[in-house]
Chain A
Amino acid sequence: MIVFATGFLAAARILVPVAGTAAWMAALIGGAIGLGIGGLAGMLAGRFPGHSLVRMAERIFGAPLGKLIGLTFAAYCTVVLGLGSRQSVLAMWIAFLQTTPPVLISAVFYALVIYAAYLGIGAIARVSLIFFSLVVVSLVVLTALAVPVAAPGRLLPIVGNGLGPLIRAGFLAASYAGESIVVLAFLRHLKDKRGASRAMATGVAVGMVVMAVATGFGVMMLGVRGISRVTFPVLETARMVGFGQFLERAEILFLALWFSAALLKLATVFYASITSIADVLGLRDYRPLVIPYALLGTALSLIPESVLETFDYLDVFVKYSVWYAIALPVVLLLGAVVLGRRGGDDHVQSKDEH
């Protein structure tokens, strides 16, 4: 859910202008790149079982450089959190809660995120397990209902704007898949640590297939120009489906599930950020950081003053963040191999381990 929960709301609007009708393939190419990132991250986690990302970095490059890498990771997570929450809040505000102040929606979002963070990653993972299946079922139902409205011919020409733009869009899509590196903060909590690579690869593959299907159906229903124009393509897609005269305006059911998924993703990213900062600061418990960090996150998410500014920030993030997502596991893994570092027991325990 980390991969698609917030990104798929607007991914088509970013990918379609670049790749044209082949935007859905760009999502799959992004998924392939994401699989590579996930594989590297999994190998890293396998080499340092029981270590958080900051501890891995410290072990490989020493404390000062390790802490610096930890801070960059926390900053990355903070941007993901800020943009993700801003997107979700805007989607709710523009489409449904038009008279509610966005600050209030944001506050409710963060109140729930704080509560989830206090409960810890175990609770978030268990709730995600329930919601993931519901979200997938909702997407399958949506796809089935969208079939009568979709015009498959709109996906032609198959390579869209050409091979070059397709690959460029693939790298943009890979930034969503690259968000999977967030799990490096808490992969140590996996029972089967050797299965980390497989778990990450599965997550990336499912997430990017969902994004490809959402993008493909968006193009089939609204066309290339339509998708590039609308604010939240997936919301428009959901608003257009129905079943006869007795299932109309059903998008609210889908959106309730999708926003729950977005909430869980943001709670996960929030947890990854504060545990990383706690590791950098050498704190045994991350909980004292929850409220200050939530205030920071809320403030950051309110920096873009308009929808246009939010999308500008998002465009920049999507353009460049993939390189960070690739570089982080590559640098750490190369460092570990060259310097011959390998993980032992990590003595810094989190609340979840208590």
Chain B
Amino acid sequence: MSRARTSTRTQPGAVLVAVCLLAVVSVSGCRDAREIESVGFVLGLGIDETADGRIEVWAQVALPSAKPAEEEKRESWMASSVGDTVWDALRQLNNRSTKVLFRAHVRALVIGERFARGGVARALDVLARDAQFRYRSWVFVTSDPVGDVLGVETKQSSSAALFLDDLMRNTARSSTAPRSRFLDLVTSIEEPGDQPLLARVSLAGPADAGRGAEGTPETEPKELRIEGSAALCGDKMVGWLDAEETAMALLVCNRLATYSFVMPMPGNEGGTIGFDMIRSHADTLFPEGIHTGDAAGQVTDVVIRITGTVDIREVLSSEQLMSMQFLERLQAGISQHLETGVRRLVEAAQNRLGCDIISIGECVRRRVPARVWKEDVASTWHDQFRTLRIVPDVHFEVGKRGMTMQSPRPVD
């Protein structure tokens, strides 16, 4: 009797174990599991518009090898497809690939100029909805064929996408290109007062990239160069900024990490002097305030006050900066040099591009009530921006001058 009762009591336990075993077999996911060999890790994505208005998409996919030292083996392959929309092209790309394309490791998204000018929002929706795609991926715009850019073979990295990733992480500190991530793009296209700048990537021959590689035959493979930026107004590209304009834009927006430049030595001595900008800070001031009421959010005058420090890195002049008087003249010269650069940028933003790429609108948005910005200012900000009187006010000082006070020189 007692044994029978014990046996009855253990029945629920046995049922529970049976249910667990059944669950292990039936819901383990083994039926449709993907082995790592069957997954294609997309490292680079390219998007451009064809001449007939269709969308072409490129995917650079890593080919992991069991033998890393095997140099003969290709480490990545690239495929492209054309569709009516970005998603249509991606879908066709999936159909043509023997591997399941996995987009969580996309390092670089390269957008062609034609597509960028037509509006990048066409690509943003599909990527923002994608649970795999990361907001931290770098975004570039190129005027070269996107397929050629992603197809560049470099000795430093196993694929162009990884090379671009390394460049942005490590060497973009020269700040002649913005560190533009997908996150920056999606957050800024929605704000008329904070328009996106995307890094420009271009193909360069070794001579262009390295300077001085004389006699290099023209058949030498191309290299990638990240310099300058594409300016967007809303989601449409409106023009290019060169390296110096880009640096000035980043300086004004407080996004300049470091910046190196060379300028003529002030005064009559001749020669040049090179600097590293190690610190800078920009304030956007509204001397006449921001009007509210009838002229809600109206701004007329803007002063961009920039202060900072530069270190001397090279002096190629007979003037060796050994007097306080000349040091002051040098500081004034540096400030003047940078102020000229900012003026050139402002002129480009207001007239050539007609778009607030220097985030003055963002400064206005922060200062006025949200309702005023949303209802009265945002929709007309681009027009208002073009009529602003923007005055740069730059003051830089010289910091360190290196391990020597004067240049080593032979006796005259």
Chain A interface residues toward B at CB < 8 A: 20-21, 94-96, 98-100, 104, 149, 153, 156-157, 159-162, 221-223, 225-226, 236, 239-240, 242, 245, 249
Contact = CB atoms under 8 A, between A and B. Distances in A.
B136 A240 contact: yes
B366 A242 contact: no
Contact of A240 (B27, B183, B366, B371): B183
Interface in B104-128: 104
Nearest to A101: B27
Contacts of B371: 161-162
Given A157-B366, A162-B370, 10 more contacts: A20-B370, A94-B131, A104-B27, A156-B365, A156-B366, A157-B365, A221-B183, A226-B186, A236-B135, A239-B135
Which of the four size classes fits the interface of chain B?
A: 20 to 34
Given A96-B131, A226-B186, A239-B134, A160 B370 contact: yes
Interface string B366-410: 111111000000000000000000000000000000000000000
Nearest to A242: B136
B131 A249 contact: no
B190 A21 contact: no
Interface of B: 27, 29, 32, 104, 131, 134-136, 169, 183, 186-187, 190-191, 362, 365-371
Contacts of B134: 239-240, 249
Contacts of A20: 370
Contacts, number: 52
A157 B191 contact: no
A78 B187 CA distance: 38
Contacts of B366: 153, 156-157
Contacts of A149: 183
Contacts of A104: 27
Contacts of A98: 131
Residue from B135, B190, B370 with most neighbouring chain A CB atoms (10 Å): B370
A15 B304 CA distance: 34
A245 B191 contact: no
Contacts of A95: 131
Nearest 10 interchain pairs by C-beta = A156-B366, A225-B190, A223-B187, A20-B370, A161-B370, A240-B135, A95-B131, A226-B187, A160-B370, A157-B370
14 contacts: A94-B131, A95-B131, A99-B32, A104-B27, A153-B362, A157-B367, A225-B190, A226-B186, A236-B135, A239-B134, A239-B135, A240-B136, A242-B136, A249-B104
A94 B130 CA distance: 10
A333 to B, nearest CB: 39
Given A104-B27, A221-B183, A245-B169, A157 B135 contact: no
A222 B191 CA distance: 12
A96 B132 CA distance: 9
B273 to A, nearest CB: 33
Residue from B32, B135, B368 with most neighbouring chain A CB atoms (10 Å): B135
Nearest to A227: B187
A307 B362 CA distance: 33
Contact of A223 (B135, B169, B191, B370): B191
A150 to B, nearest CB: 11
A159 B367 CA distance: 11
A157 B186 contact: no
A93 to B, nearest CB: 10
Nearest to B362: A153
Nearest to B135: A240
A21 B370 contact: yes
A239 B365 CA distance: 28
Nearest to A95: B131
A240 B183 CA distance: 8
A197 to B, nearest CB: 37
Nearest to B169: A245
Contacts of A222: 183, 186-187
A239 B369 CA distance: 31
Contacts of A157: 365-370
A227 to B, nearest CB: 10
A96 B191 CA distance: 30
Contacts of A100: 29
A239 B136 CA distance: 9
Nearest to A161: B370
A217 to B, nearest CB: 13
Contacts of B104: 249
Contacts of B362: 153
Residue from A95, A99, A223 with most neighbouring chain B CB atoms (10 Å): A223
Contacts of A21: 370
A226 B190 contact: yes
B369 A162 contact: yes
A223 B131 contact: no
A149 to B, nearest CB: 7
A153 B282 CA distance: 14
Contacts of A240: 134-136, 183
Contacts of B186: 222, 226
Contacts of B136: 240, 242
A223 to B, nearest CB: 5
Nearest to B166: A245
A160 B366 CA distance: 9
A249 B190 CA distance: 26
Contact of B190 (A96, A223, A236): A223
